[in-house]
Structure formats: structure tokens, C-alpha cells
Amino acid sequence: MDNIHEVLKAFISGAGVVACYLLKTRRVRKSIELYKECLILFNKAVGNEKELYRPVYITIWSAIFDGFYLISDFTSMIECGGKLCALLRASGDPEREAALLAKLGYAHQSLGEYGKAEEYHKKALVITKEIGDRQGEAACYGNLGTVYLYLGEYGMAEECQKKALVIMKEIDDRESEASCYINQGKVYQSLSEYSKAEECQKKALVIIKEIDNREGEAVCYVNLGTVYESLSEYDKAEEYQKKALVISKEIGDRKGEAACYGNLGTVYRSLGEYGKAEEHQKKALVIRQEIGDKEGEAACYGNLGTVYQYLAEYDKAEEYQRKALVITQEIGDRKGQALAWKPGSFVSSCR
């Protein structure tokens, strides 16, 4: 039996290499299928001795979970994450358990289940405090702040982001400090405190440039662009979204590139330049489809539907809003479903 186990473990290790290749070539679903086949074979081989091979199970379930994470299949993430969480707890790996709980919180948040998201982030916070993981603790506060932002509990959102910022300064984590400023900026923007939002994003930008983080620089430009759009300073909004677009193209960030096109589309819509708005939303849509970003694809359909409403092309508007609704239902995005029929709901977003 031990010999069979060794052969199977070798097979699974080889499959892991293949699965990794499949992930890199954006064939995520094939990777997930391969790991599921490994799981079936391994279950048959070990029989009632599963406890002895917990590390192998953790490896397999982690790979499946990461696959669902990459394709934004949040419902499957949650189902898979429950099994993986139990395995990690049984193996006494609190650091990985906390990281998993944070991702599960993100999954529930993406499904609009903010109460559950809060619950998981709080569980992760408890663990990070127990094991003295200050960076993880700060990340949990940041995640909770984001949840409270979605819930409209801006006081709690601001409080959590400030707690995260204090810790990041203490441990001298400059990159994460910049992230805290970015998140604080989002809170202030939601409160329509645009001067504070601008100040926070600019503080983040200074740090990001110091540490030469090009992706982070693009994020700051996007967020500043949305601040200026909120202030109806459309020339500045366009300028900053274009700066972000240039960087996203340079570093090969396809998702970021799509976000920039989408955000530029909303700027042009606000300016009444509907042809340009349509053009940029379609560019965003093509990329979202290529990279398998279903949530982003739904947002593009929603934004295009809004453009067609302004153009009085109501049949097209309805068609695209329906497409958005179908996708949000497929991926279980309840917030997106609620927005799908509201004109102008899918608009520029911070990153």
C-alpha cells in the first residue's frame, strides 16, 4: 500500500507541474479538473487513512481553491474553502488559515454577502493577533474597512483603515502604508470629502513612486482620476486615467488596462461624447472577455447599456443590461444583479 501511495504522490506532484502550466496559459478550468481527478484517485488509494496524508490533501485543495479564485468563481471558492479551512485547522497552520479566511471574506464580499464577509475577516483578525502577525493584522483591518465601506458604515471604515495605517508605519511596510492611504481615500470619496480623498491618494502616490511600484502608481492615477471625475474636473480625470492606461500597457496588466478603458468611457459619457464612450467600453469588454473576468464583463455590458440609453437606442440598452444581469446571476453577484437595471449604475471605479 505504501508503494501505491508513493506512486500516487509522485503522479500528483507531476500533475501539479502540468496544472501550474495550465494556470499560466490561462486554462484554469482544465487545471481544476486535473486536480479533481487527482483527488478522486488519491481518495481511492488511501481509503480510511486520510489523516496520514493531510499535507497532500491540503496541496490539492489549495490548488483547486486558487483556481476558483483566479476565475472569480466565488461560490465554488466558498465551498472549497470550507474543506480547506478544516484541513488547515487540523494541521495546526494558523498563518495559512488566516490567509484563507481573508480570501473567503473577499469571496462573500464579492457576492454582496457583507455580513459573512465581516465574519470571516474578524475570524482572520483574531488569528493574526494570537500569532503576533502584525502585517496580517493590518491587512485584516484594511479588509474590514473595505466591507464597512460597502455597508455605508463610513465611521467604522475610516477607523479600521487608520488602525491598519498605524501598524504599517510601525513595521515600516511602505507598500502596505500606501495601500492604507489608498483605502482611506476611497472612504473619503464615498463621504464626498474630495479634498481629503485627493490628499490620501497623493500621499500613496509619493510612496509608490519612491519604491518604484509601477502597478501601484497606475492604481493611484486611476483613483485620482475618479476623484476628479466626481468633482466634474473631466480634463484632469481624463489625464490621470490616460496616465494609468500607459503604465498598465507597459507592465502588461490586462485587467488594469480594461479598468482604464472603462473609466475613460465613463468620463467621455459624462462629457456627452457617446461615440468615444462606446468605443472605450467595447475595448474594455474585449479584454475582460479575453482574461475571463466575468464580473468586469458584466460591468462593461452595464456601462454600454447606459451609453445606449443616452443615445436613445433603447433596444440595445435593454440587450446589454440583460447580458449584464445574466452574468451577475451566473457568478452569484447579488450587488451586480441589483444594479443591472439601474441606468448609470456601472460607473468608474477605484482600484
Q: Tens digit of pLDDT for each residue in 123-149?
A: 999 999 999 999 999 999 999 999 999
Give the lowest-confidence range in 20-34, 88-102, 287-301: 20-34
Is 57 within 8 Å of 45 (Cβ atoms)?
Answer: no
Quick one: pLDDT at residue 37?
Answer: 80
Q: Which residue do the cell numbers 464583463 mark? A: 297
State yes or no: pLDDT of 340 exceeds 90.
no
pTM of the model: 0.76
Quick one: pLDDT at residue 9?
Answer: 59
DSSP track, 305-324:
HHHHHHTT-HHHHHHHHHHH
Which DSSP letter does residue 51 get?
Answer: G
User: Which three cell numbers mark 190?
Assistant: 464615498
